[in-house]
């Protein structure tokens, strides 16, 4: 990640450009440019070796005019408060574009879970909750998993919250294991949601999905399920990539005739790291981390971190590429956006493309509130409907107005949030 990149500045500049187009008043503009509330705190942990290590934790609530703040918690060694602010802001737009009654929030801890024992991770989760328990909850702010956090982390957090409050609040956190109030389909939801939007975009373009090639960055939860459904629909995935903690390096795994997803999953650990030797023996080419971007494919799916398609590498994108579907949050910088626009590449913007996760989190909350759980096919059917509807609303607006897809999505979201703020008398 280049030094100058600041995700929050990027989120603000995207917002500013659309606020200008919408001619938003100064007051509402200022309100939406910044998070409403932020919590920065320390989490001291007694490590397995007997020392005490102090971790930095965050929760940022960007806006809750449409409902309780909602968004994941990331564990990442390079986490910064500005990354969390950006991600919280994008959550506001994400919940608004799919029209669920939630606001935007995000949390983080600066840590590397790869080098922490399960007990140490549990202490971080419980410590995180102890520091913000008064400011989160099912009616205030509802956390969820994100980069390097998983259902086990969520259930430790739930347990700590319920210990503190002395009651059951299964709707205080989502992405829980199904055995403890989670929703069927939540694990698949983000990756599947990405592909529902890709499927609809191909339909609008009149291109059958069969034989279409996608190159995917990442092999975590989002990338794995996106690859799975894309292949199920008849597409082929020509590359994925992953981080290898032993080497402190990332690699692309290339397979021009299409990956075998079940095989790759069988040689992948719980952090999404693929065994290079086994992959090589099966005919995969192990290449530079950025190789995924320069593959001959029709679709690029960045499904890892922010700032992955930028001014330095956007020109490496082959002419075969007609679409970028942003599974990650903030993968494309404004500079790269301009280049994609100029080349006429169709972009499904992050906060629309990857909204399947939070949409299913919303369903999880609804099910928890009812204390009645739906079968998986019902969850996925509702998810598909919500994503499909949101995608076409944005694509219709983009078509009618000639706006770039990202700007059209922003226009819908900003207007929805601004109306809620106005109605509440905030601005």
**Known catalytic membership, residue 106:** yes
- Examine residue 220 and tell whether it contacts ligand GLU (CB under 6 A): no
Element (H, E) at 74: strand 69-76
Strand locations in 77-212 (E): 104-110, 141-145
| 153 vs 255, beta carbon nearer ligand GLU | 153
- Closer CB to ligand GLU, residue 295 or residue 329? 329
Interaction of residue 221 with ligand GLU, rule CB under 6 A: no
Which of 29, 59, 66, 70 lies at the binding interface for ligand GLU (CB under 6 A)? Answer: 70
Residue whose pair of structure tokens reads 């291109």 in the numeric block: 207
Both tokens of residue 320? 């075969």
Helix (H) or strand (E) holding 236: strand 236-244
Minimum separation from the CB atom of position 248 to ligand GLU (A): 25
Q: Which residues contact 118 (CB under 8 A, 6 or more apart)?
A: none
User: Does 291 sit near ligand GLU (CB under 6 A)?
Assistant: no
| Nearest distance in Å: CB 153, ligand GLU | 12
Residue 144 sits in the site that holds ligand GLU (CB under 6 A): yes
Stretch that binds ligand GLU, among 26-34, 163-171, 351-359, 394-402 (CB under 6 A): 351-359
Tell me the C-alpha to C-alpha distance, in Å, between residue 356 and each of 281, 294, 416: 35, 27, 19
Among 92, 197, 295, 361, binds ligand GLU (CB under 6 A): 361
> Could you tell me which stretch among 68-76, 262-270, 293-301, 331-339 binds ligand GLU (CB under 6 A)?
68-76
Residue nearest to ligand GLU (CB): 72
Lookup: tokens for 153: 């982390």
Terminal alpha carbon distance of the chain: 37
| Rounded Cα distance, 174 and 111, in Å | 21
Q: Cβ closer to ligand GLU: 174 or 252? A: 174
**Closest to 15 in 3D by CA, of 93, 107, 103, 95:** 93
Number of Cβ within 10 Å of residue 51's Cβ equals: 8
Judged by CB under 6 A, the residue of 72, 181, 193, 327 near ligand GLU is 72
- Pick between residue 217 and residue 329 the one whose CB is nearest to ligand GLU: 329
Q: How far is the CB of 85 from ligand GLU (least distance, A)?
A: 14
Calculate the CA dihedral of residues 200, 144, 408, 416 and round it to 10 degrees: 120
Q: Which of residues 395-414 bind ligand GLU (CB under 6 A)?
A: none
Minimal distance, residue 106 CB to ligand GLU, in Å: 8
Query: At closest approach, how far in Å is the CB of 353 from ligand GLU?
Result: 10
- At 286, phi and psi to the nearest 5? -90, 120
Q: Say which residues have a Cβ less than 8 Å from residue 385's Cβ, sequence separation at least 6.
A: none
Q: How far is the CB of 228 from ligand GLU (least distance, A)?
A: 18
Give the three-state DSSP class for 350: helix
Q: Stretches 20-28, 40-48, 69-77, 150-158: which one binds ligand GLU (CB under 6 A)?
A: 69-77
Residue of 94, 106, 176, 228 marked active site: 106
d(CA 299, CA 241): 15
Report if residue 222 touches ligand GLU, rule: CB under 6 A: no
Using CB under 6 A as the binding rule, whether residue 386 contacts ligand GLU is answered as: no
For position 224 contacting ligand GLU by CB under 6 A, the verdict is: no
Q: Between 187 and 310, whose beta carbon lies closer to ligand GLU?
A: 187
* 407 close to 341: Cβ distance less than 8 angstroms: no
* d(C-alpha 312, C-alpha 309), whole Å: 8
- Total residues contacting ligand GLU by CB under 6 A comes to 13
Q: Which of 108, 110, 107, 106 is nearest to 55 (CA)?
A: 110
**Residue ranges in contact with ligand GLU by CB under 6 A:** 70-72, 94, 144, 146, 174-175, 329, 354, 357-358, 361
Kindly list the catalytic residues: 106
């Amino acid at each position: 990640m280049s030094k100058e990149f600041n995700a929050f500045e990027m989120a603000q500049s995207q917002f500013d450009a659309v606020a200008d187009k919408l001619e938003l008043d100064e007051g509402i503009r200022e309100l939406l440019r910044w998070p409403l509330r932020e919590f920065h705190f320390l989490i001291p942990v007694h490590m397995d070796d007997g020392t005490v290590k102090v971790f930095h934790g965050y929760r940022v609530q960007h806006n809750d005019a449409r409902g309780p703040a909602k968004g994941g918690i990331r564990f990442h060694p390079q986490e910064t408060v500005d990354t969390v602010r950006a991600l919280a802001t994008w959550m506001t737009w994400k919940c608004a574009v799919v029209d669920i009654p939630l606001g935007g929030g995000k949390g983080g801890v600066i840590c590397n879970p790869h080098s922490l024992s399960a007990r140490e991770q549990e202490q971080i989760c419980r410590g995180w909750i102890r520091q913000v328990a008064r400011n989160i909850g099912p009616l205030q702010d509802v956390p969820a998993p994100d980069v390097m956090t998983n259902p086990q982390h969520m259930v430790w957090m739930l347990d700590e919250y319920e210990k503190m409050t002395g009651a059951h609040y299964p709707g205080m956190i989502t992405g829980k294991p199904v055995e403890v109030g989670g929703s069927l389909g939540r694990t698949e939801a983000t990756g599947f949601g990405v592909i529902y939007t890709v499927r609809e975009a191909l339909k609008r373009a009149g291109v059958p999905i069969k034989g279409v090639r996608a190159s995917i960055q990442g092999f975590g939860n989002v990338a794995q399920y996106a690859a799975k459904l894309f292949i199920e629909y008849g597409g082929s995935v020509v590359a994925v990539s992953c981080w290898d903690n032993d080497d402190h390096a990332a690699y692309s795994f290339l397979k021009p005739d299409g990956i075998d997803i079940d095989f790759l999953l069988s040689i992948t650990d719980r952090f999404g790291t693929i065994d290079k030797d086994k992959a090589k023996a099966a005919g995969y080419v192990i290449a530079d981390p950025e190789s995924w971007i320069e593959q001959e494919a029709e679709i690029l799916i960045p499904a890892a971190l922010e700032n992955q398609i930028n001014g330095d590498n956007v020109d490496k994108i082959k002419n075969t590429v007609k679409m970028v579907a942003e599974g990650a949050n903030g993968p494309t910088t404004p500079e790269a956006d301009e280049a994609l626009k100029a080349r006429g590449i169709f972009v499904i913007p992050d906060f629309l493309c990857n909204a399947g996760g939070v949409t299913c989190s919303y369903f999880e909350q609804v099910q928890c509130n009812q204390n009645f759980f739906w079968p998986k096919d019902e969850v996925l059917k509702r998810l598909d409907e919500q994503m499909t509807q949101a995608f076409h609303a944005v694509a219709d607006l983009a078509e009618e107005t000639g706006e770039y897809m990202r700007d059209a999505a922003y226009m819908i979201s900003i207007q929805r949030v601004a109306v809620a703020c106005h109605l509440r008398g905030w601005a």
